[in-house]
Amino acid sequence: MTKLFRSILFVVLCLFAANMLQAQIVLDNSKWTFEAKKISGDKYELIVHCKLPDKWHIYALNPGGDGMEIAPEVRFVKNSDVKLIGSVKERGKRISEKMIGIDGNVNIYKNKVDYVQEAIVKSNATIKGTYSYQICDDNQCLPPKRDKPFTINIGDAVGAAATSPAADTADNSKATTDTASPVQTANVSGGADTSKKAVAATTTPSASATVKAKEEKSLLWLFLAALAGGLAAVITPCVYSMIPITVSFFTKRSKTRAEGLRNALYYSLSIIIIFTVLGVLISAIFGANALNALSTNWIANLFFFVIFVIFGISFLGAFEITLPSSWTSKTDSRAGVGSFGGIFFMALTLAIVSFSCTGPIVGPLLVLAGKGGIAGPAVGMFGFSVGLALPFALFAIFPGMLNKMASSGGWLNQVKVVLGFIELMLALKFFSNADLAKGWRLLDREIFIAIWIVISVLLGFYLLGKLKLSHDDASVKNVYGQEYVSIFKLFLAITSFSFAVYLLPGMWGAPLNGISAFVPPIGTFDSFGGGAAPEAGSATESNLIHPVKFVNDMKRFEPQAVKSLGLVTYFDYDEAVAASKKLKKPIMLDFTGINCSNCRKMESQVWSQPEVTKRLKEDFIVVSLYCDFNSIDLPKELQHFSKDLNSQVVTLGDKNAELQAAKFESSTQPFYFYVDENGNKLADKGYSYNPDVQKFIDHLDSVKANYKRTHS
């Protein structure tokens, strides 16, 4: 068993490596030089000069903000001939301003800054030290450089004894506006890296306690936010679909309450281990989008479809899924190892399946993991995994309670049958993902909905006792000898039939916003040959440039706002730029995915709202760029190696993914960025998944106002 699970883990890691390797190169062009300036007698200033490239900044020794900003740090190695006076101080023009995404004002320096340490030097000496720092621009932070060595040679000391009190501690004094002295030593340049903001480092020693307290507070908030995200992730489509499997899996394993508690503990620990260790490790090595890319792979989705169908048929009573007898014997002899192995595999399945929906929640944590920090992603992923594991721990304990009560009747088998129907419905989602990715058109929207209606009706009849399977027990009878339906089952049947009625209008093109994340996009709906015509006067049809590129291939992915409400979307960036130049409108770049559940929710629940649709149609050029669409190869002359993706750009999806990574340094979907016809950004940051309609409206209005200011 141990060898088997090692092999499974190895295969998963290989899949991650083969599909998701990506990187990005941004140079650190800061210049650092060092000198000793004699003030009088044996008193010197030890100066570290920092010259920054245009549009980049470095945080002050007291950076302010939310405690996660990395302050620079200069340390001197203890030297018997040198006594330090006071603390390291800054010289330069300090700027205090508000930055998007950071609480409170942040203190920074631009262009240049000097770090000055006063010292008493008794004799000629070579002074050694280290410096740490991080530089940022308006969009990103490079990974922190830590403990870079430097030396300062002093050859003109008079050998006088020190008379001033010395101290090895430093405070965070406010900067003056003195001009830096001329540089007398060789330049030291930073290296190349791609990372954004990492976990906060401490400043000089006497300030470390303050910054550490801020860091601990920030990490606590990060843990609580991630914990809430993990709890919220349970109701996302991909995670929710694992609940029936989990209940059924532990129904068979937990024969007693003690076993239920033990298995629940195993399962919870497995989830936490996988998300915290494997998630951070894989993302640090292979890139932040690794697990999400695997969960959207069409082969992986077909595999999950087969697994769900097998589980569903098994739950309906066709057969029992059991281990080979040789495995069973070994499990009996080593129950602890075997039990944990199987439970760990279930947790691994949950982790892989869930990443398609939880990517926008854990994405920032995984990005941190690949950018040089470790405390932030470790704490964040731990909090997320705890939040996700808590409900599943309850689900794992619950079957043990069911088994304990099973002796009262055969109703437990009915629970499994109900779960079997649900599993068959959920299996269609995975097949739909593969169908959309490959363009087979085997499971268009109306076919998907029709199958769900049939299954829902059959489930309702089963709950009412009108449909029986071969292994069902006889129905319970009342005191008069008549079969009856319990109140609980009656309400479940009402729910099932109501769901079927809710689905029925979808056969005629209704948007079904409540389940938009599950069903195929309305662009695949072709029962009546397309959607409604645009509303009169809702679009500038007289001068509209209709999209041409990739339209025939991409129409099946169109959302409700496009198919039925008259919104025009483009699928090629260059074509959208041409339209923007003619129509004098800003461009909304919709980085999306074929199998992106949260993209579908944004489109159906936000885009389709009248006030949002009106703004998108009248004020923006919308271009939907599918980053996982790999059915169209680019012309040979346009195929190339991308440094931003660290892979070949071969398909249209590769081209879109490269644009998102290179220009916006992002890899998660949905993500909306805004530019003008010249590619200039109209918002400091993009808009990720957030179904708050009013917030999205306010964001669009802000972008429109910014466009008018810059194009008046």
Task: Convert the pLDDT of each residue in 206-226 to its tens digit.
Answer: 334 443 444 444 567 667 777
Task: Convert the pLDDT of each residue in 286-299 to its tens digit.
Answer: 544 455 555 567 78
- pLDDT class of 493 with cuts at 50, 70, 90: very high
* In the chain, % of residues over pLDDT 90: 16
- pLDDT at 451 (0 to 100): 95
346 vs 171, which has greater pLDDT?
346
Task: Convert the pLDDT of each residue in 174-188 to its tens digit.
Answer: 333 333 333 333 333
What ranges do the domains of the chain cover?
28-198, 229-409, 535-710
570 vs 231, which has greater pLDDT?
570
Token pair recorded at residue 159: 């050998």
Q: Choose the weakest-confidence range: 245-254, 424-433, 560-569, 625-634.
A: 245-254
CB 153 within 8 A of CB 81: no
- pLDDT at 371 (0 to 100): 40
Give the neighbor-by-neighbor strand order of the sheet with 125-133.
73-76, 125-133, 145-154
201 vs 562, which has greater pLDDT?
562
Answer yes or no: is pLDDT of 406 > 60. Answer: no
Task: Convert the pLDDT of each residue in 639-685 to its tens digit.
Answer: 888 877 767 888 888 888 888 888 887 777 788 999 999 888 898 88
Which of 147, 159, 150 minimizes the C-alpha distance to 120?
Answer: 159
- pLDDT at 499 (0 to 100): 94
3-state secondary structure of 543: coil
Q: How confident is the model over 440-448, as a mean pLDDT?
A: 88
Hey, CA dihedral for 381, 386, 391, 393, is it positive or negative? Answer: positive
* In the chain, % of residues over pLDDT 70: 67
- pLDDT at 74 (0 to 100): 92
| Number of other CB atoms surrounding residue 319 within 10 Å | 9
163 vs 475, which has greater pLDDT?
475
pTM, to two decimals: 0.49
The Cα 282–Cα 646 span in angstroms is 16
What is the average pLDDT value for the chain, to the nearest integer? 73
- pLDDT at 183 (0 to 100): 33
- pLDDT class of 435 with cuts at 50, 70, 90: confident
Answer yes or no: is pLDDT of 572 > 60. Answer: yes
Task: Please provide residue 635's backbone torsions phi and psi, each rounded to the nearest 5 degrees.
Answer: -55, 150
Hey, CA dihedral for 388, 391, 393, 396, is it positive or negative? Answer: negative
The Cα 551–Cα 563 span in angstroms is 13
- pLDDT at 598 (0 to 100): 78
Answer yes or no: is pLDDT of 29 > 80. Answer: yes
CA distance readout (Å), 274 to 296, 350, 356, 384: 19, 10, 16, 11
Answer yes or no: is pLDDT of 588 > 90. Answer: yes
- pLDDT at 11 (0 to 100): 45
Answer yes or no: is pLDDT of 195 > 50. Answer: no
Whose tokens are 């009996």? That residue is 332
The Cα 577–Cα 208 span in angstroms is 49
Whose tokens are 């700027």? That residue is 95
25 vs 148, which has greater pLDDT?
148
- pLDDT at 447 (0 to 100): 92
Q: Choose the weakest-confidence range: 154-158, 244-248, 433-437.
A: 244-248
Task: Convert the pLDDT of each residue in 594-625 to its tens digit.
Answer: 877 778 888 888 898 889 999 999 999 999 99
CB 561 within 8 A of CB 617: no
Task: Please provide residue 477's backbone torsions phi and psi, each rounded to the nearest 5 degrees.
Answer: -115, 150
142 vs 176, which has greater pLDDT?
142
The CATH architecture annotation of domain 28-198 reads Sandwich (2.60)
- pLDDT at 155 (0 to 100): 81
CATH fold of 535-710 reads Glutaredoxin (3.40.30)
700 vs 532, which has greater pLDDT?
700
Highest mean pLDDT out of 400-404, 475-479, 541-545, 654-658: 654-658
CB 400 within 8 A of CB 260: yes
Token pair recorded at residue 8: 């499974």
- pLDDT class of 307 with cuts at 50, 70, 90: confident
Task: Convert the pLDDT of each residue in 515-567 to its tens digit.
Answer: 877 888 877 776 544 444 344 334 444 345 788 888 888 877 877 777 777 88
